[in-house]
Chain A
């Protein structure tokens, strides 16, 4: 729990019909950066979407293959009695028949079955090996316990089978008696917030995801008396300028990432590398004039280039930490009787150091989320762009073409903002102009730097 008794609940969601891939892992790394940024010790909640049309399609496909009824198949899957591989095969070859899928969705919306349980258990274990503390919960469980919350959003329309939120436009939560993706997302948010309220906490629920359904759920959440909810857009992975997908080439799975890192680095450092990756690697945005992180992706030539970048980030993160210790030593070497800098402007700024330190240590959670929602840095310098493109694995003419594209637009490369990273940058920027620091002011800087490092997850 952070200052003021606010309890941040960080949640994201994935359909675990197949393994998590690098895009999901980077989403979790973003969520983890937010978690440390908010000073939370709680695990991230990952809602396993096991009730939507894709889950229903996989269940129908599995039932057809096993020559079992849909309910029997759902029961066996809930008990984890069907192998991981068979579930993934069914998910990949899922049935698209609208009528059958609709009927099966109704069955799954009842909340009694957790059909992707075996994959969820497997992923929770592997995420723990990678250093992530993630609590995977089935969406079906939320639906079973809290489905009624959707009706509370708009009591006038309750029990009609059509529920919408009128907050800032119309957002449909239930249509023709069936929950929409936004409705399910809202139920998950409400379910988590309600548990915190029961424990006597004040929840701030943050959904890390770029999907429009998430935005709708977060907006609709405002009509419930369950605290505040926010959305933090994630960023996915792409290759050769397009978002990775089944047909255009998939990003490495979590297992493959672990295999690559096993033996090379200690496993928990994978998380450190990924967090540094989120902090410092640029993302591709389709329109640099109006950069929107919701449409962004980390672009690479291929999977190997992505792996190289992650591996390199681990080394860079170690170096960064060392640089920060050097910064503290450098500032310590300036300790004298009084504080003064090279010019009047800096001196004025230094006079506010105690106040500024206090405000950094007590920054409101909304501001921290807000900073991560925005673009911190746009790559404009041609050399800077060329270097970023090279790190994405592009060479020769292709690298030149991409660098040109990012330099001239409409696409561009940007780096996500982070309040604590920005604070450290501002200290680095002025440190050479500081000529002397009082012992007290040095302590303030030292406290700030260590606090920022902690909030960036370096001390975990």
Chain B
């Protein structure tokens, strides 16, 4: 009985999170963030810097990318470099990126090693879902959570560039937690921002990708 109630609560919470679109638009996403990998264990710090760089350089495209739920394509590109490129989905140039489809499942240790470079920020803690998943599922979750963090500030300031700069300047840390831990944190503190994976394109991405615990409110 207790378990059932707990389950119902969880489902209700997920439904509520799902219903709150936070000002984003469903429908066709014109842009995608192509995350080109140089290895199956990319350096998350370099990847994050590249993501910030591309979002800050594309002042028109970046907010439009974010408001359509920030589609992320984990891929390999011709130069075999670790880089992020914000491109139009329909642009032929985007075809140079080939989506990665691995089967190797990362364990907790792998994920801890991947997130270890992101430990110095002060504004928020991104808790990524720690369930076993592929590298591309993990990176989709990570990119979406960073996008979510920027978006949370954008919702208050309505200035994407400023919000991005704040995240870049103040930074964040990344930790790992189970789905229950993330949802429990949300139940305890409604300001925790939880991001769900709605597209279902990649079957290995967890439904609850992660949560953001804010260390300060601006």
Contacts and interface: CB of A to CB of B under 8 A. Distances in A.
Nearest to B36: A170
Contacts of B78: 166, 169-170
A176 B103 contact: yes
Interface in A144-186: 156-157, 159-162, 164, 166, 169-170, 172, 175-177
Interface centre among A157, A159, A170, A175 (most CB of B within 10 A): A170
Given A169-B78, A170-B77, A164 B98 contact: yes
B98 A170 contact: yes
A172 B96 CA distance: 12
Contacts, number: 39
A162 B104 CA distance: 9
Contacts of A164: 76, 98
Nearest to A177: B103
**Interface bin, chain B:** 10 to 19
Contacts of B100: 162
A160 B104 contact: yes
A68 B158 CA distance: 64
B77 A162 contact: no
Given A156-B39, A170-B77, A176 B98 contact: no
A172 B98 CA distance: 8
Nearest to B79: A166
A166 B98 CA distance: 11
Contact of A161 (B96, B98, B104): B104
B117 interface: no
A216 to B, nearest CB: 11
A161 B76 CA distance: 14
B135 A160 contact: yes
Interface in B117-147: 135
A342 B106 CA distance: 79
A387 to B, nearest CB: 42
B80 interface: yes
Contacts of B9: none
B43 to A, nearest CB: 14
A169 B96 CA distance: 8
Contacts of B96: 169-170
B101 interface: yes
Interface centre among B77, B80, B97, B101 (most CB of A within 10 A): B101
B104 A176 contact: no
Contacts of B80: 166
Lowest 5 A-B CB distances belong to which pairs? A161-B103, A177-B103, A176-B101, A160-B102, A162-B102
B101 A161 contact: yes
Contacts of A157: 39-40, 102
Given A170-B76, A170-B78, A160 B103 contact: yes
Given A169-B78, A169-B96, A170-B77, A175 B39 contact: no
